[in-house]
Amino acid sequence: MEENLKAIVPHQFGGHSLCNARFCGYKRKPGSSYTHRSLPYKTSLQDSNLRQKLQQLFDPIIYNAGHYIDLGSSQQCEHANKEVTLRAPKSHHYGNSSSLDYRVHATAAFINEGRHYISKGYSMLGLSPGTHTVRHAEKCMKQREKKREKAKSPSTKLRRLLLKQERATNQGANEALEGDTYQSGKFICRTL
Ligand SMILES: [Zn+2]
């Protein structure tokens, strides 16, 4: 991990001696010209000032590489956060009541068990599970399963990559046309 972290900054600037073939296209095909898919103009960065600053940012991360080994993708975590905010919206202050606990538990049940948690909960309380509730849950679960299968297929992955590439190109072009629209610590007001 430490070795790979060390390779990140040089890689963006066209130095691939530290790179690993697992993530570096240049290492996989050293002969052919390599394009940076996610950088503006798809070419390696040049600014040595930027490189120095980036290196300063990355040094402590590289030094602490051992701490990051166990981290996973944050995508699932972000999804869970989103689901909780649907059941406990910020605009309704549930934070002070035990209602929040139930809402978070309900979200966990929804994510882990699926939508059937509602009818199961009703049954446990001795209430009717609800014909429509059950049917709706069935439908939603089928959709979820379908979506999951589809996301795994190679064609979907290819499409994701294509869209990412398109985004990068558009962003690069827009930045060249409009200049920076946002810069941290500065308020930029643009007049036409
Ligand atoms: Zn590289």
Contact predicate 18/7, CB 8 Å: yes
Q: Does 86 map to a domain?
A: yes
Averaged pLDDT, 47-76: 85
Q: Does 84 map to a domain?
A: yes
Contact predicate 180/188, CB 8 Å: yes
Better-scored residue on pLDDT, 191 or 123: 123
Distance between CA atoms of residues 181 and 123, nearest Å: 55
42 alpha carbon – ligand 1 mean position (Å): 13
Using alpha carbons only, how large is the chain's radius of gyration in Å?
24
Range of the domain at 91: 75-152
Q: Does 157 map to a domain?
A: no
* β-sheet bridge partners, residue 186: 183
Mean pLDDT (the chain) is 85
- Which tokens sit at 157? 């992955």
CB neighbourhood size of 103 (10 A): 19
Confidence of residue 126 (pLDDT cuts 50, 70, 90): very high
Element (H, E) at 155: helix 154-178
| The predicted structure's pLDDT at residue 186 | 59
Total domains present in the chain = 2
**pTM of structure:** 0.49
- Please, which residues have CB less than 5 A from ligand 1, an ion? 11, 16, 19, 24, 26
| The predicted structure's pLDDT at residue 179 | 73
27 alpha carbon – ligand 1 mean position (Å): 6
Q: Does 161 map to a domain?
A: no
Per the listing, tokens 């995508």 go with 75
